[in-house]
Amino acid sequence: MDLLFVALATIVAVMLRGYFDTFTESLVALMPYSLISLGCASAIFLVGGLDRTPWRYSSVADHLQVIVLTVLAILLALVITFALNRLEPVARSLPVLQGGLIVSALIVARSIARFRHTRQIENNANGHGNEKPHETVLVVGVNTLTELFLLSVREFASERTQVAGIIVEDRSLQGRAIQNKTVLGTVEELQSILQSLEVHGVAVDRIVVATAVDQLQPRSLETLLEIENTSDIFVQFLTERLGFEGVAQKPSGLSGQERNSAHGQRVIAGLGKVIEIDDANSALRSFRLEKRIVDVLGAAILIIALSPVAILVAFVVALDVGFPIIFWQQRPGVYGRPFKLYKFRTMRASHDRHRVRVPDDQRSSAVGQALRRTRLDELPQLFNVLIGNMSLIGPRPLLPCDQAPEYAARLSVRPGITGWAQVNGGRIISTSDKLILDVWYVQNASFLLDLSIIFRTVKMILFGERINTDAVSQARNSRSLKTPLRTTMVPAE
């Protein structure tokens, strides 16, 4: 399919180049370059492993891989064609058009497949009653039981349980992967691993031990019990749950509130509230659908148009803070569903080579501050928009600790790259004012308001952030803010 898209993109590029009148003759003249492009793409894509990830599981990293491999394939095709006929029939703009079309086709195809797969999972999940909210788990041990647990999560709880990684006792396994879940480190390093995940916004709810108690090293068992006694993390031994241990079974470690799957209701996961959306409102559904179409088209166009800027920023980040150049952090998205928000890194590592915590003011450089000031560090979030995690316009996704339950209404729409709170104060207003402004946006969302936010965002980038006291006062005084959406408390289990 990838090679078919390469061939079709080359044909369309020839047509767009202006060869409509002499299309057949031009295509014949460009046949050597077209075949060389196809051959180079075949080799580069195979060596680069573009075929290894199923489309329905594609991610931002896979989309970046598409861009890099496409550029390499076209450059190689140009070199070979130049050696063959000095690029005589090839216009200068043709490779640019061809590359843009290839990247667009491959990324859009993957995004559509991922969107359809995600929608199918959501539809299947909506058919089950009394679903539990999202939880994040770590798995201890590498054995057949570990693999069985990971397969079970994928098959039965992929929308409710997220496996953050695997913990082992054998240090030689660090960096390996089981069922695409990375071995993060050893049990003795568990405290530092939990702190590192917390930096990325990942709060672990449960530790699942796939190794029998009598097979654990005493120090490992002591570490696990210490974490269970000194934190809210529940440690669960699978052998106990399966009835293979001669001790009393522990209570269930699943925490949170039940999801009400009745018509028109959505749970804000982990916040203890149900937000009721009037699904009968056809105008609201139409606006969301139309906005999603605008988001996909806008993100695709911006990704192509800003790709030179993104490549330059990636190069600058690599020189400034090193690799990896992309930083991710787990944030609550629409209806509280967790997703990975991507940014270019603007800060150095949180710990030095002696594993000592580095203060935040010493981690940031002048380059990083400039990238944050111009919002260039947020360019990777265009891929979040493309795959459906975010919108171009909407409330900025906050860390779970900053998301107050009384303002859960802001989670009823997709979070945005920019929003009403950002253009009326951004980082210099309080968190409570941001939440108030976001809820006001949810109540008054429209294409006209989104257009206003786009113009205000450009103004903010050029002239800096300023607090709009009128907008804040308007949001505070809004009568409907007292009941932003009909909410009811869900009793804890």
Each residue's pLDDT tens digit, 421-469:
999 988 888 888 888 999 899 888 888 999 999 999 998 888 888 888 8
Q: What is the pLDDT of residue 92?
A: 80
CB 48 within 8 A of CB 69: yes
Q: What is the pLDDT of residue 25?
A: 65
Q: What is the pLDDT of residue 352?
A: 65
Alpha-carbon distance of 431 to 421, in angstroms, equals 10
The tokens describing 211, both together, are: 């190794």
Q: What is the pLDDT of residue 407?
A: 83
Q: Please provide residue 488's backbone torsions phi and psi, each rounded to the nearest 5 degrees.
A: -140, 145
The tokens describing 345, both together, are: 């890194």
Burial (CB count within 10 angstroms: exposed 0-12, middle 13-18, buried 19+), residue 242: exposed
Of 154, 182, 195, which is closest to residue 355 (Cα–Cα)?
195
| Domains annotated on the chain, with CATH | 2-118 (no CATH), 135-241 (3.40.50.720), 265-489 (no CATH)
Alpha helices by DSSP H, 189-342: 190-199, 218-230, 238-241, 282-305, 307-320
Residue 19: pLDDT band (50, 70, 90) is: low
Q: What is the pLDDT of residue 251?
A: 38
Q: What is the pLDDT of residue 475?
A: 83
Burial (CB count within 10 angstroms: exposed 0-12, middle 13-18, buried 19+), residue 66: buried
Q: What is the pLDDT of residue 124?
A: 62
Q: Which of 83-87, 100-104, 321-325 has the highest mean pLDDT?
A: 100-104
Q: Is the pLDDT of residue 161 over 80?
A: yes
Residue 274: pLDDT band (50, 70, 90) is: very low
Q: What is the pLDDT of residue 427?
A: 82
Higher confidence at residue 350 or residue 71?
71
pLDDT (tens digit, 9 = 90+) per residue, 200-253?
888 899 999 998 888 888 889 889 988 988 888 999 998 888 877 554 344 333
The tokens describing 447, both together, are: 């294409």
Q: What is the pLDDT of residue 135?
A: 87
Q: Is the pLDDT of residue 194 over 80?
A: yes
Once rounded to an integer, what is the mean pLDDT over residues 474-491?
A: 54
Mean pLDDT, the chain, rounded, equals 81
